[in-house]
Amino acid sequence: MKKIMYILLFICAGVAAFAQSPKGKYGTFVLTNATIETVTKGTIANGTVIISNGKITYVGAATTAPQGAEVIDCKGKWIYPGFIDGGTNLGLSEVGSDQRTRDLNEIGEVIPQMQALTAVNPNSVLIPVTRVNGVTTVLTAPVGGMFPGTAALINLHGYTPDQMYVNFKGVVVNFPSTGRRGGFDRRTDDEIKTASEKAMKKLNEVFDRAIQYHKLDSATKSKGVEYYPEMEAMLGVVRGERAILLEVNAAKDILEALKWIKERKLKNVVLTGCREGWRVAADLAKAGFPVITGPVLALPSRDYDRYDKAYANPGLMKKAGVKVALRTSETENVRNLLFNAGFAAAYGMGREEALKAVTIVPAEIFGVSDKLGSIEVGKMANIVVSDGDPFETKTNIVHVFIDGWQIPMVSRHTQLYDEFLKREPGVNKSQK
């Protein structure tokens, strides 16, 4: 009888443990027998990666493990650096159509002081869904008017925004559009011209004012300036310390933007979008600014363009000599980043460059390549283990480490699968 009681207790305890969400685990992990694609230093067969104190402490052929380490046999598995999405709204919006859950679009045309990082919800259900598919780090950006706010780079693990933050912020600027925006745009040519001139004037006014503010601030050592949050947020931009994430898409607008950057003598600029980058790829390459483009799985921007132009765009820009990183521009389906990379690879970019475009290239663009983007000793332990080519659709990600934490491989999607694959009760409640 006592024995039965113990068994019952044991079962109850098991059920209770199952009902809780599993936690991340910190420690020393030794991943052995894997094929390691380091991204920056070639591929290692039958290799070992050791993770300790949040860092990668060893990459090579060793077979012995430090004492107390947890050894994970990765035979037949592949190891990659955590994948980086160069542009998302993850954490800022929970249910797309419900304004009450959307914190990505503040009111105002010039509000660079609005901080995406502030509004990141670390407990968003969308985050585990994303990271179990291998995306460990994303740029999350506000949307809206000309200066909608400041984007931030975050790791997809942590209980406060600060625990997630990875040392990069950029001021988002939507470059004025000069063309007609499709059939719905009923403005006359003159109206379009006037509107774009007005917008350019506004853009320049903001920058002129920011330069003035910077001069005052410098001359008075920050003591002579009144509270002016927009300009304060622009200080870093004017001083070249903070990147401008310049969103621009149509070919003509890209050329205008390049001219404007040159006139303004701006250096710390990242071009984002560049949906028609392939049309002006040589100009982009010559200007030398990096590009974050995507989604790759998109329609061509014009009716008469070849059907696969969006798939081919990253490869065409890369071939012309542009530094290209990829983004999904997604929220709930940032997990499809690797499929975007797969399509870019198939349509001209090639697998090697596509792999870089979701690892080391975004790390370099965001100035965090000392921490992220490759499997190298000393880097932050953002590591993904897969059972095949991670771009292939059917490949499963089997382990994820973020900042040294072993991530539980569960999400709402896996939990619902476990509950409903064989639902109990089935059709008939009284008999299973």
Partner 1 sequence: MKKFIIIACLLIAVSGMAQQVERGTVLIKNGTVLTITQGVKENTDVLIKDGKISQIGKNLAAPAGAKVIDATGYHVMPGIIDAHSHLALDAVNEATTPVSAMVWEGDDLDPLDVGMYRAVAGGVTISHAMHGSANAIGGQCQTIKHRYGTVDPKVLMMEGAPRTIKFALGENPTRVHGNNGAGIVPNTRMGVEFVIRQAFSEGKEYMESWNKYNASKNQKGFRGAPPRYDLRMETIAAILRGEIIIHCHSYRADEIYMLLKVCKDFGIKRLVFQHVNEGFKVAPELAAQGAMASVFADWWAYKFEVYYSTAYNAAILTRNGVVTSINSDDAELTRHLYHEAAKTQKYGGLTDEEALSLITINPAKQLGIENRVGSLEPGKDGDVVIFKGHPLSVYAIPMYTVIDGVVKFDREKDADDQRLYVDPKQTIDITDAVFEETLSHDHDECMKNAEFLLNVKFADKNR
User: Interaction with partner 1 in 37-76: which residues (CB under 8 A)?
Assistant: none
Question: With respect to partner 1, which residue has the nearer C-beta, 349 or 372?
Answer: 349
Instruction: Pick between residue 65 and residue 298 the one whose CB is nearest to partner 1.
Output: 298
Cβ pair 386, 49 in contact under 8 A:
no
Q: Is 391 in the site for partner 1 (CB under 8 A)?
A: yes
Site for partner 1 in 394-413 (CB under 8 A): 394-396, 412-413
Beta bridge mates, 102: 93
Residue 106 near partner 1 by CB under 8 A: no
Question: Considering the rule CB under 8 A, would residue 342 count as an interface residue with partner 1?
Answer: yes
Residue selected from 186, 423, 431, 432 as contacting partner 1 according to rule CB under 8 A? 423
Task: Select from 134, 118, 79, 124 the least CA-distant residue to 101.
Answer: 124
Please tell me the distance from the alpha carbon of residue 308 to that of residue 388, in angstroms, as a whole number: 26
The phi and psi torsions of 385 (rounded to 5 degrees) equal -115, 125
Closer residue to partner 1, CB minimum distance, 48 or 331: 331
Q: How far is the CB of 314 from partner 1 (least distance, A)?
A: 15
| Among residues 78, 339, 366, 401, the one that binds partner 1 under rule CB under 8 A | 339
Q: Which of 313, 336, 359, 406 binds partner 1 (CB under 8 A)?
A: 336
Q: Can you give the three-state secondary structure of 214-244, one letter per residue? A: HHHHHHCCCCCCCCCHHHHHHHHHHCCCCEE
Q: How far is the CB of 334 from partner 1 (least distance, A)?
A: 11
CB of 116 to partner 1, least distance (A): 13
Give per-residue burial for 288-319: e unless 16+ CB within 10 Å, then b: ebbbbbbbbebebbeeeeeeebbbbbbbbbbb
DSSP reduced 3-state for 174? strand
User: Which of 95, 219, 282, 377 lies at the binding interface for partner 1 (CB under 8 A)?
Assistant: 95
Q: Whole-number minimum distance, CB 371 to partner 1, in Å?
A: 27
Is residue 283 near partner 1 by the rule CB under 8 A? no
Report which secondary-structure segment, H or E, holds 247: strand 243-248
**How far apart (Å, rounded) are the C-alpha atoms in residues 59 and 70?**
16
Report which secondary-structure segment, H or E, holds 96: none
Q: Min. distance of Cβ 275 from partner 1 in angstroms?
A: 7
Closest CB 252 distance from partner 1, rounded Å? 5
Segment contacting partner 1 by CB under 8 A, of 6-14, 203-211, 268-276, 372-380? 268-276
CB 398 within 8 A of CB 410: no
CA atoms of 340 and 336, how far apart (whole Å): 6
Here's the x/- map for partner 1, 147-186, by CB under 8 A: it reads as ------------------------------xxxxxxxxx-
Options 67, 221, 223, 307; binder of partner 1; rule CB under 8 A? 307
Identify which range of 33-41, 70-78, 224-232, 301-309 contacts partner 1 by CB under 8 A: 301-309
Contact (Cβ atoms closer than 8 angstroms) between residue 84 and residue 358: yes
Contact call for residues 152 and 115 (beta carbons, < 8 A): yes
What is the nearest approach in angstroms of partner 1 to the Cβ of residue 178? 7
Contact of 335 with 411, CB cutoff 8 Å: no
Indicate whether 259 belongs to the interface with partner 1 (CB under 8 A): no
The per-residue DSSP string of 343-375 comes to: HHIIIII-HHHHHHHTTHHHHHHTT-TTTSSS-
| Residue whose CB is less far from partner 1, 208 or 308 | 308
Q: Which of 89, 205, 167 is nearest to 372 (CA)?
A: 167
Residues 197-236, mask of contacts with partner 1 (x by CB under 8 A): ----------------------------------------
Minimum distance between the CB of residue 292 and partner 1, rounded to whole angstroms? 12
Name which of 12 and 125 has its Cβ closer to partner 1.
125
Question: Please, what is the minimum distance in Å from the beta carbon of residue 329 to partner 1?
Answer: 5
Query: 300 preceded by cis ω (within 30°)?
Result: no
Q: How far apart are CA 13 and CA 74, in angstroms?
A: 31
Residue 296 has what DSSP assignment?
Answer: S
305 lies in the site for partner 1, by CB under 8 A: yes
Please state whether beta strands 397-402 and 383-386 pair in parallel, antiparallel, or not at all (unpaired). antiparallel
Element (H, E) at 385: strand 383-386
Q: Which stretch binds partner 1 (CB under 8 A): 73-81, 318-326, 373-381, 389-397?
A: 389-397
- Token look-up 């990253």 returns 314
For tokens 């002129």, the residue is 208
Binding of residue 421 to partner 1 (CB under 8 A): yes
Contacting residues toward partner 1, per CB under 8 A: 89, 94-99, 125-126, 143, 177-185, 249-250, 252, 273, 275-276, 295, 297-308, 329, 331-333, 335-336, 339, 342-343, 345-347, 391-396, 412-414, 416-417, 420-421, 423, 426-427
